[in-house]
Structure 1
Amino acid sequence: MVGSTTEFDTVLELCQAQHRRIILATLAHEKRSVTVTDLTKAILKHNHHTPLAEVPEEETERIRLALHHVHLPKLADQSLVGYDQEQQLVEPTPRFDQILPQLSAIINADPDLDLSITV
């Protein structure tokens, strides 16, 4: 459970970006390590609603770079995920599990997102 108002505000701030909400929803659904490629595909599936083969490679690379340089480091800095850059793996941490009820409430409040995002 989130232990303080400051910590809760941090969770809300992290959830402001749709890509981070998709990352968190994917991890909540999968309950295991996933690859950066899997997360990129989850974002593309959610945002484009077209076959992945039809998404321009530039868009795929833009999302992959944003994950690597922005979203995953932010989540790792808050100890919500472990991010192994060399192996391109992202895994939920014990802290992720502690705040899952709050994350679920935020994700469920997003009309365009749910916890059943799969990779």
Structure 2
Amino acid sequence: MSREPIEFDTILDLCRDQHRRIVLAVLAEEHRSLTLDDLSKAILKYNHQTPVTAASEEVLTEIRLTLYHEHIPKLESEGIIEYDTERQHVVPTKQLDQLNPSLFAIIEADPGLQVPVAL
């Protein structure tokens, strides 16, 4: 199934939230499917500057819920990822490759993120 090219305004909207920028950056860097736990840990590392061992369960749960209810559905609706609910895996699609030039420029411009963003 071929999708239309992603409009620049859509890319900006997808990158509006820092948690979503982290998810996109990690998926683009890793080039593989990741679990919600993997992405939660990346958000904890880059947004909260907290190691997983020092994070409260409350913070991790909040991150997971936000991913599950807000960020994953938004990325999936644009065809950037596919989400396997049974395995809780986020699978990047070819649409993500289309975002890469703009995505990397936006991430590099984010003063709160150190590039590269990886697990």
Is TM (by shorter chain) over 0.5?
yes
User: In 1, are the aligned partners of 2:19 and 2:47 still within 8 Å (CA)?
Assistant: no
> CA RMSD for the aligned pairs?
1.6
* Unaligned stretches of 5+ residues in structure 1: none
TM-score normalised by L of structure 2: 0.90
Match of 1:112 in 2: 112
For 1:22 and 1:109, locate their aligned partners in 2 and report how far apart those are by CA, in whole Å. 13
Q: 1:45 matched to which residue of 2?
A: 45
**In structure 2, C-alpha distance between the alignment counterparts of 1:90 and 1:22, rounded to whole Å:** 13
**Aligned residues between the structures:** 116
Give the % identical residues: 52
Q: Deviations over 1:84-105 (max 9, x none)?
A: 1111111211111112111111
Unaligned runs of 5+ in 2: none
TM (normalized to structure 1)? 0.90
1:101: which partner in 2?
A: 101
Amino acid at match of 1:61: T
- Give 1:9's aligned residue: 9
| Rounded Cα–Cα distance in structure 1 between residues aligned with 2:93 and 2:14 | 15
